[in-house]
Structure 1
Amino acid sequence: MSKRIKQRKRHSTSQLLNFAKDSYLDRTSRPIYAIIFLLPFIIFYEVGTILINTDTLNQSQVRVVAFVWLQNLLEYMGSSDKLAWVAPPVAVVIILVALQLSSRKPWGFSLIDLCPMGIECILLAVPLIVLSLFLNSPPEPKDDIDRFGNNAKQYRMASGLSHDSKLETYNTNYDKIVLSCSSITGNSLLAATTETDSGEVKSDSLWASIITGIGAGIYEELVFRLILICILMLFFQDLLRFSHKNSIILSVLVSAALFSAHHHIVFVNGQLALSAAFNGTEFGFRTIAGVYFAVLFAIRGFGITAGTHAFYDIIATVINAAFFSSGN
């Protein structure tokens, strides 16, 4: 028993590595840095989604699925409907403050570190961009018309398939060569802008994808890394009595698989919906991405991980729009 208690204390923090005290890596892995670094992203996402939903003039709102889950949970716990849009970001801040308190690490921060954190997130997103381009590159042979047509469908982002459900997946009009790591609900922006020219539609779709990609970086990492991995660790290590090492491996793999699966099948407001046709390459890539984010979370903390996820989605959206859009 005493051995297990010592083991819990040894692994009580989220970081696998202990960096030199008060170094850049040590400072920026603290939860307080995650709050300061992610606050502009949270505000940008909230304001941006309000603007998106105002433009579409639809009751159905374009939101990140993980955001809706958190929203529904808070409403179930008694949160007011008037606070529905404010409660999730406030919950993120409260969770990070609680982690900062429990870590007993210094509360001080330096604004000078924020720029290097952004650069670090961009650099950490590059390997996933390269992997996505490699796995999802179009096949060279084009003589088989049927095969070419099927591959073209595979690389389209506009693939809303669940029209029988009240829940539809929000997609853009760009070819998906660089795969997205965000799962989104809401009516298509294109359906609400049929009277505008194609340039405006693409511009709106581009901004909508950037905004929701930022939200996915924050709320998907909160759900699938910060919350789910902790729950899985309790399940495997404390309930099933697996070793700490095996519990970590299983928690990372299960959370990564669920992270990938929720980009194909989503459960929101008591309904299951098919958000995208299952594709082995896409599922495999997002599972690898889930493992990558989990390892990053364990080493660098929530702020860098969420920032990397957000920047990945932003870069993927821009690359798809600039080089692989159907208009090019």
Structure 2
Amino acid sequence: MEQVETHDSYWVATKKPLEVLLFLLPFLVFYELSLVLVLRRDGGETLTNWAHEALNRYLNFAIPDIIGLSFPAIAVVVVLLIWHVLTRASWSIRLSTLGFMLLEAVAWTIPLVVFSRVVHELVPLVVLQEDVVSQLGPMGKIAISIGAGLYEELVFRMLLIFLIHTLLVDVLRLPSAPSTFLAVVCSAILFTLYHPLQGPDESLSAARVAFYMVAGLSFGGLFVFRGFGVVVAVHSFYDIFTFFSSN
């Protein structure tokens, strides 16, 4: 009897590792090429973000020189492939799923943009552009945005939420649902502290704290309910909008 292959619903498929990997592959390739062609400055220094740099520094002892700044991208690919193999899921996907993931990410970006515009009325420039970043061309700003989406979400969502959830559930024996909520909140707090929180007068800005906390909670919720691929795209698209709208 001929076996009919079945596919998961869109809402399930978007959180599966193979779909996430294929969806993020263009982001990863674009950022890796940009590290060499766009973000390398005079003197050989490469402009990147803290999350990407921290991953390299933390595992520097295990990284061959030939891999260098590409290690985080390789790690993302390897982790997602191993995850897929362990789940024993099919290697077949629907290409339409990837297209709808892109549209969904754009849709989720819109409310975050609207909220940032509201905060912008309270304090200028929700996102501060460093001089070196503001001097980049369009491709450089897109690359920086995609790098932030990839590696800040990898650190603050995939790694932190997983580690905190594991600690609460497996060590402290707390229920899974409240542990997930606490993990999202903790990761959002750390995500907020990671960003500049001073206003124009150099004092702590409540508006900035509120914005980054809401953004961190939103990204955390998207990661839990919609998966790593969608939240990376939302973060990247928001940063791209911010860079170009603030010029």
With normalisation by structure 1, the TM-score equals 0.66
The alignment partner of 1:298 has SS state of helix
| Residue type at the aligned position of 2:227 | G
**Structure 2 gap ranges (5+):** 1-5
For structure 1, the residue ranges without an aligned partner over 5 or more in a row are: 1-19, 139-150, 159-170, 173-187, 191-200, 266-275, 322-328
The CA RMSD measured in Å over matched residues stands at 2.4
Task: Report what 2:56 is aligned to.
Answer: 71
Q: Distance in 2 between matches of 1:107 and 1:301?
A: 18
- 8 Å Cα contact 1:75/1:81 also seen in 2: no
What is the identity, as a one-letter code, of the residue corresponding to 1:71? N
Shift of 1:264: 3.1
Residues 185-209 of structure 1 deviation map (CA, whole Å, 9 limit, x = unaligned): xxx257xxxxxxxxxx4xx344322
**How far is the alpha carbon of 1:245 from its aligned partner?**
2.9
Quick check: 1:114 aligned with 2:98?
yes
Q: Which amino acid aligns with 1:108?
A: S
Once the two structures are TM-superposed, the CA of residue 218 in structure 1 deviates from its matched residue by 0.9
Contact 1:206–1:317, Cα closer than 8 Å, also in 2: no
2:108 to 124, 128, 136: 124
Classify 1:117/1:155 alpha carbon distance in 2 versus 1 (closer, same or farther; 3 Å).
closer
Report deviation, 1:302.
Answer: 1.0
1:269-292 Cα offsets, whole Å, 9 max, x none, are xxxxxxx97532222211111111
Deviation at 1:213, TM superposition (A): 0.8
Assess, with a 3 A threshold, how the Cα gap between structure 1 residues 31 and 81 changes in structure 2: closer, same or farther: same
- Cα distance between partner residues in 1 of 2:222 and 2:102: 15
Question: Does the aligned pair in 2 maintain the 1:237–1:243 contact within 8 Å?
Answer: yes
Are residue 83 (structure 1) and residue 54 (structure 2) matched? no
Give how far 1:243 is off: 2.7
| Paired AA for residue 66 in structure 1 | A
Name the SS of the counterpart of 2:121 in structure 1. Answer: coil
Q: Take 1:311 and 1:256, find their aligned partners in 2: how far apart are those partners?
A: 19
Partner of 1:314: 240
- Give 2:231's aligned residue: 305
Shift of 1:89: 0.6
Give the Cα separation in 1 of the matches to 2:191 and 2:178.
20
Q: Over alpha carbons, which structure has the higher Rg?
A: 1
Distance 1:118 1:235, change over 3 A: same
Correspondent of 2:151 among 201, 219, 238: 219
Paired with 2:180 and 2:14, the residues of 1 have a C-alpha distance of: 23
Report the equivalent of 1:96: 80
Paired residue for 1:51?
37
Residues 67, 106 of structure 1: CA spacing in aligned structure 2 closer, same or farther, 3 A cutoff?
same
Aligned partner (choices 129, 141, 150) of residue 209 of structure 1 = 141
**1:157 counterpart SS class:** coil
Q: Pick closer, same or farther for the CA change 1:99–1:283 going to 2, 3 Å.
A: farther
Equivalent in the alignment of 2:186:
254
Cα distance in 2 for residues equivalent to 1:224 and 1:298: 12
**CA-to-partner distance for each residue in 1:208-254, whole Å, 9 max, x for gaps?**
22211101111111111111111101222222333323312211111
CA gap 1:238/1:26 in 2 versus in 1, 3 angstroms? closer
Report if aligned partners of 2:39, 2:140 keep a CA contact under 8 Å in 1. Answer: no
- Rounded Cα–Cα distance in structure 2 between residues aligned with 1:101 and 1:47: 28
CA contact (8 A) 1:49 1:212 kept: no
Task: Return the structure number with greater helix share.
Answer: 2
* AA aligned opposite 2:160: L
Match of 1:182 in 2: none
2: CA distance between counterparts of 1:189 and 1:65?
13
Write the distance in 2 (CA, Å) between the matches of 1:310 and 1:216. 7
4+ runs deviating over 4 angstroms: none
